[in-house]
Amino acid sequence: MIVSYHGHSVVKIETKGKTILIDPFITGNDLTDLKVEDVKPDVIILTHAHGDHLGDTVELAKKHGALVIANFEVATYLSWKGLNTHGMSIGGAYEFDFGKVKMTQAFHGTGMMTENNEIIYGGMPAGILFMAEGKTVFHAGDTGLFSDMKLIGERHPIDLAFLPIGDNFTMGPEDAALAAEFLNAKEVVPIHFNTFPPIKQDPHAFVKMLKKNKGTVLEAGEAIEL
């Protein structure tokens, strides 16, 4: 399994001949190395439907026939746009042919902003546990620190965790360092920082805060093989 980071919260997983994109925010993301015309996902997984996570989902899914996995409300909304979707809810898991996906809780906003200046309820935000080839990857999505991260780590030994550190909208570095300890992840990669002025952070300083976990700062396009 090859797991790569592509700026903001964009993560790509390549396993079993499939390409899975999590939160494909490409257009408008100055920190990504990806180009929409070059990306060919088989599967898209969304933690929630804010624009910097939903991103280019509709265009990519329509162009490549990708399956979109999201919470039930967002999956239903996207199905109305003609996408092939699979809806899930917090605590639920499903075994796909490319791996197992489980949704965990995340503490964050939920709304989808429309072009008509409306906010549509977007269901519960989530973290994503992805399990394949005997490995577990955790993408925390956008979230604050919560103590049940300990339970997530106890129930699911995590090989690689992607944790937001930007503060303002999510955990800051100090809380994310404690989250890494709660999750007991073997390796931790910081995400959701420096894309916008309110979330400017030093990822290397975050890694130095980690006491019990290996921390790795990935530049856009860099990968870890599990």
User: In the chain, where are the structural domains located?
Assistant: 2-218
**Whether residue 136 has pLDDT greater than 90:** yes
The predicted structure's pLDDT at residue 220: 98
CA separation for the pair 195, 173 (Å, rounded): 15
**pLDDT of 63-82, one tens digit each?**
999 999 999 999 999 999 99
Average the pLDDT over 31-35 and give the result: 98
Average the pLDDT over 154-162 and give the result: 97
Average the pLDDT over 49-70 and give the result: 97
Local structure of 84: helix, strand or coil: strand
The predicted structure's pLDDT at residue 18: 98
**Mean pLDDT over all residues of the chain?**
97
**Whether residue 131 has pLDDT greater than 90:** yes
The predicted structure's pLDDT at residue 175: 98
CA separation for the pair 163, 217 (Å, rounded): 11
**pLDDT of 112-130, one tens digit each?**
888 888 999 999 999 999 9
Class of domain 2-218: alpha beta
Check if the beta carbon of residue 148 is closer than 8 Å to that of residue 179: no
**pLDDT of 172-223, one tens digit each?**
999 999 999 999 999 999 999 999 999 999 999 999 999 889 999 999 999 9
CA separation for the pair 97, 107 (Å, rounded): 29
Q: Give the burial class of 45: count Cβ atoms within 10 A of its Cβ; 0-12 exposed, 13-18 middle, 19 or more buried.
A: buried
Average the pLDDT over 33-42 and give the result: 97
CA separation for the pair 179, 176 (Å, rounded): 5
